[in-house]
Amino acid sequence: MSRLRTIDLTLLRTFVGVAEAGSISAAARRLHVTQGGISQQIKRLEAFFDCVLVERDVRGSRLTERGTGLLPHARRLLGLNDHLCEEMLGATAPKTVRLGVPYDMAGAHFAPILKTYAQRHPEVEVSLVTGSSVDLMQDYGKGLVDLTINQCPMSDAEGEPLSVEALVWVGRSGELFRQRPLPLCFVTPTCTFRSTAFSLLSEADISWRVVFENASAEATLSTVRSELALTPWLRSLVPDDLRVLGSESGLPLLPDFAIQLKVAEDAHPAALDMAEVIREHYLGLDRNGNASVK
- pLDDT at residue 268 in the model: 83
Type of residue at 222: S
- How far is residue 199's CA from residue 205's CA, in Å, rounded to a whole number? 10
Average pLDDT across the chain, whole number: 88
Rg (CA), the chain: 22
Please state the domain extents for the chain.
Answer: 9-90, 95-294
CATH class name, domain 9-90:
mainly alpha
pTM, rounded to two decimals: 0.69
**CATH match for 95-294 among 3.40.50.300, 3.40.190.290, 3.40.1440.10, 2.60.120.10:** 3.40.190.290
Over the stretch 224-283, which tens digit does the pLDDT of each residue have? 999 999 999 999 999 999 999 998 899 999 999 999 999 987 788 889 999 999 999 998
- pLDDT at residue 88 in the model: 81
- How far is residue 23's CA from residue 42's CA, in Å, rounded to a whole number? 12
Over the stretch 164-188, which tens digit does the pLDDT of each residue have? 999 999 999 878 999 999 999 999 9
Q: Do the domains spanning 9-90 and 95-294 agree at the CATH topology level? A: no
Within 10 A of 112 (CB to CB), how many other CB atoms are there?
A: 14
Within 10 A of 137 (CB to CB), how many other CB atoms are there?
A: 20
Distances (CA, A) of 41 to 45, 46, 217: 6, 9, 29
Over the stretch 54-102, which tens digit does the pLDDT of each residue have? 998 766 788 999 999 999 999 889 888 877 877 787 655 457 899 999 9
